[in-house]
Amino acid sequence: MALAHEATDLLQRLIRFNTVNPPGNERPAQEMLHAELERAGFECELVGATGERPNLIARLRGHEDGPKLCYLSHVDTVLADPAEWTVDPWSGEIRDGYLWGRGALDMKGQVACEVAAACALGRAGWRPARGELLVVVTCDEEAGATYGAQWLCENVPDKVRCDMVVNEGAGEAIEFRGRRLYTLCVGEKGVFRFRLATEGRAGHASMPGIGDNALLRMVEVLARLDGRQPPLDSYPAGVESLEALTGEPVVDVSEAVARVLGAEPRLRDHLESMMRVTLSPTMIRASEKENVIPSRCTVRVDCRVPPGMGDEHVRTRVQDLLGPAETSGYTLEFSEEIVGNSSPLDTQLAGHLREFVRRQDPEAGLMPLVLTGFTDSHWFRKAFPECVAYGFFPQRVMSRFDTLPLIHAPDERIALDDIEFASRFFNELAPSVLG
């Protein structure tokens, strides 16, 4: 229980540093973690693009060369409006078996469990038989990672180069057909945001017939998206996820999804988004003046794409819904093209996670999934193509259906028993992987 107490205390201290990003202001929190890890025997450094927003890299070298395992996390959070909270979001208050505060789940809770577990190993004199244990705590994850993981991977790759990453993204259990499955994030969808445009002819708004209103042309185009999304896609990581749920090979993706949703309708939003290109129009712009009929209207569409699929696939899916651009009254221009990535499931690291889960819970298994958003893991997969990166922060008091509504929301909190559970996981993982 000493480890759980240490992790709980560390989490309270972390929550009391306000690291709402922007502006982040991560330095004081990073200095505190730096001091803890250094005391436990880690070689530590703070590095970053600016002095106020450093990243922490802590390293425990083994007796011989070998694989590098990285515990990855971020210490910044999204904002919190105290008026909407039951407790002060920066209090770290313990109430009813939970520790409350902004970041308790996303993701200071995991920072605290990883750092407390690593410190306990270091203080006890453990060193990897081969390889290295790295603890990397980034800044700026919530606002795009420009100063955080992206900066590290692009500017000082040798300092963070690793073979295995355990990061955020999943880990909470769900009950599915009477069996407990721990979610495991193996990948993240890509982002292919684009701009749709329609053209018309400007004119004085007092005489509607004098122009050709591009905004009304856009209404026709957008109506084709109302209530419709592209068909489901078959891709390896998605199929593995469905197979973990159905327990058998997937022949037809739509049929497999329907079967899963028949057993657990609460998976609908996630599964239906995970298994296809998704299109969400979010911003519209037309005339700059109330009395001018717009000659041009643009809409920004947030588009998320399964790992490995690129712009050609997106164009095909969009055309299926909107018709070909040349003859259907619109143009399409990409503003962001990030191909999603994933790590395979048949790895030694996954074997160690599965082992841990079975030790706790002999009947339990893993449920791999692909996130619809993305985490710092994708910077590591991109920079180090051989690196296996998973999102795994095991929790079982709170299920994934309990945690998701609290992330980036009021009254974010973590169960004290889950802090104990997860810190034990990180404490056992490094010796089982590195010897």
Residues that bind Zn ion (CB under 5 A): 106-107, 168
Q: Which is nearer to Zn ion, 107 or 232 (CB)?
A: 107
User: Which residues fall within 8 angstroms of residue 400, CB to CB, at 6 or more apart?
Assistant: 170, 172, 173, 174, 183
434: number of Cβ within 10 Å: 22
Helix locations, 361-415, DSSP H: 377-383, 400-403
Residue 206: CB atoms within 10 Å: 8
Closer Cβ to Zn ion, 107 or 153, answer by number? 107
CB of 24 to Zn ion, least distance (A): 13
Specify whether the CB–CB gap between 193 and 303 falls below 8 A.
yes
Euclidean distance between CA atoms 158 and 147, whole angstroms? 17
Count Cβ atoms below 10 Å from residue 262 Cβ, excluding itself.
Answer: 8
Q: Between residues 8 and 138, which has the closer beta carbon with respect to Zn ion?
A: 138
Q: Note the Cα 4 to chain centre separation in Å.
A: 25
The residues near 432 (Cβ < 8 Å, ≥ 6 apart) are 352, 355, 356
Q: Which is nearer to Zn ion, 168 or 240 (CB)?
A: 168
Which of 313, 320, 21, 20 has its CA nearest to residue 189? 313
Hey, what are 269's tokens?
């939003």
Q: Minimum distance from CB of 145 to Zn ion (Å)?
A: 11
Q: What is the smallest separation between the CB atom of 393 and Zn ion, expressed in angstroms? A: 10
Nearer to Zn ion, 100 or 235 (CB): 100
Using an 8 Å Cβ cutoff, are 109 and 171 in contact?
no
Nearer to Zn ion, 36 or 106 (CB): 106
Instruction: Given the residues 6, 26, 36, 76, select the one marked as catalytic.
Output: 76
Q: How far is the CB of 175 from Zn ion (least distance, A)?
A: 25
Tell whether the torsion through CA atoms of 99, 430, 145 and 335 is positive or negative.
negative
Is position 76 annotated as part of the catalytic site?
yes
Catalytic entry in 141, 142, 172, 376: 141
Shortest Å distance, C-beta 434 to Zn ion: 25
Q: How far apart are CA 136 and CA 48, in angstroms?
A: 12
Residue 65 among the catalytic residues: no
CB atoms within 10 A of CB 25: 16
Minimum distance, C-beta of residue 353 to Zn ion, in the bound complex (Å): 19
The set of catalytic residues is 76, 141
